[in-house]
């Protein structure tokens, strides 16, 4: 095996550190991107009227139920895509468009029900953690 000059050795070490850092940052970014759409879309804006304790608990519950929430969001997006495709078909088939609209309503209802169940659970947790006042 050849001996590496000090400059090449330093460059090899720097390249290795750079690659390790890039892989770490890539993993972090992918995780944040996976978690953030659900959290930012659902957790902050609609909860502005609730206390910080309720919002914090809701975000925790949202993270805990991430798989189910992401599934409901995905179903809604797919239903909307199907509606767009049905509405854009030539000629427009009214029965297909109506069925696609019904699927969007069902997916919206399912997502809304899930969010309201999580909110109710967050409110219950706030009540359980509240100290009685005299």
pLDDT of 27: 77
Give the dihedral sign, CA 41/47/48/52.
Answer: negative
19 versus 118: which is more confidently predicted? 118
Structure confidence at residue 4 as a pLDDT band (50, 70, 90): low
Joined tokens for residue 69: 């929430």
Q: Is the pLDDT of residue 20 over 90?
A: no
pLDDT of 111: 93
**Every domain of the chain and the residues it spans:** 36-128
Is there a contact between 112 and 76 (Cβ–Cβ < 8 Å)? Answer: no
Structure confidence at residue 21 as a pLDDT band (50, 70, 90): confident
Q: Is the pLDDT of residue 40 over 70?
A: no
Angle, helices 94-129 vs 66-88, to 10°: value is 160
């Amino acid at each position: 095996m050849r001996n590496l000059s000090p400059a090449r050795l330093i460059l090899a070490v720097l390249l290795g550190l750079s690659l390790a850092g890039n892989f770490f940052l890539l993993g972090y970014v992918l995780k944040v991107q996976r978690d953030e759409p659900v959290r930012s879309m659902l957790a902050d804006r609609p909860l502005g009227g609730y206390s910080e304790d309720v919002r914090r608990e809701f975000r925790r519950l949202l993270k805990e139920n991430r798989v189910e929430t992401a599934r409901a969001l995905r179903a809604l997006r797919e239903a909307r895509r199907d509606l767009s495709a049905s509405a854009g078909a030539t000629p427009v088939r009214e029965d297909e468009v109506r069925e696609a609209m019904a699927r969007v309503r069902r997916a919206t209802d399912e997502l809304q029900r899930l969010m309201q169940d999580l909110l109710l659970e967050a409110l219950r947790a706030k009540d359980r953690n509240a100290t009685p006042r005299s």
